[in-house]
Amino acid sequence: MKVPRVEIRIEECKGCHLCIAACPKKVLESSGCLNNQGYIYAKYKGDGCIGCGICFYSCPEPGAIKVFKKEN
């Protein structure tokens, strides 16, 4: 898959949307959908991530965001 990119684990997300506000490239958005916990989870728009990791550090939920800077 294309890198850099970000993955958000839907069921770990608590819908605070801090990552959306923090992303300098504005490539994260609200999904508009509820996960099984009842939170409106964030999602990657699918293009434009630069792998900076700011979303990862802004997220209060361990494991909700994974940033891929290179293929692994």
| By the rule CB under 6 A, 43 interacts with ligand SF4 | no
What is the SS3 assignment for the chain?
Answer: CCCCEEEECHHHCCCCCHHHHHCCCCCEEEEEEECCCCCEEEEECCCCCCCCCHHHHHCCCCCCEEEECCCC
Does 35 bind ligand SF4 (CB under 6 A)? Our answer is no
Q: Rule CB under 6 A: choose which of 29, 31, 35, 51 binds ligand SF4.
A: 51
Among 2, 3, 28, 47, binds ligand SF4 (CB under 6 A): 28
Spatial separation of the C-alpha atoms in residues 55 and 24, rounded to whole Å: 9
Of 29, 31, 35, 50, the one binding ligand SF4 by CB under 6 A: 50
Instruction: Rule CB under 6 A: say whether 52 interacts with ligand SF4.
Output: yes
* Distance between CA atoms of residues 43 and 13, nearest Å: 10
User: Contact positions toward ligand SF4, by CB under 6 A?
Assistant: 6, 8, 13-19, 23, 25, 27-28, 41-42, 49-55, 58-59, 61, 64-65, 67
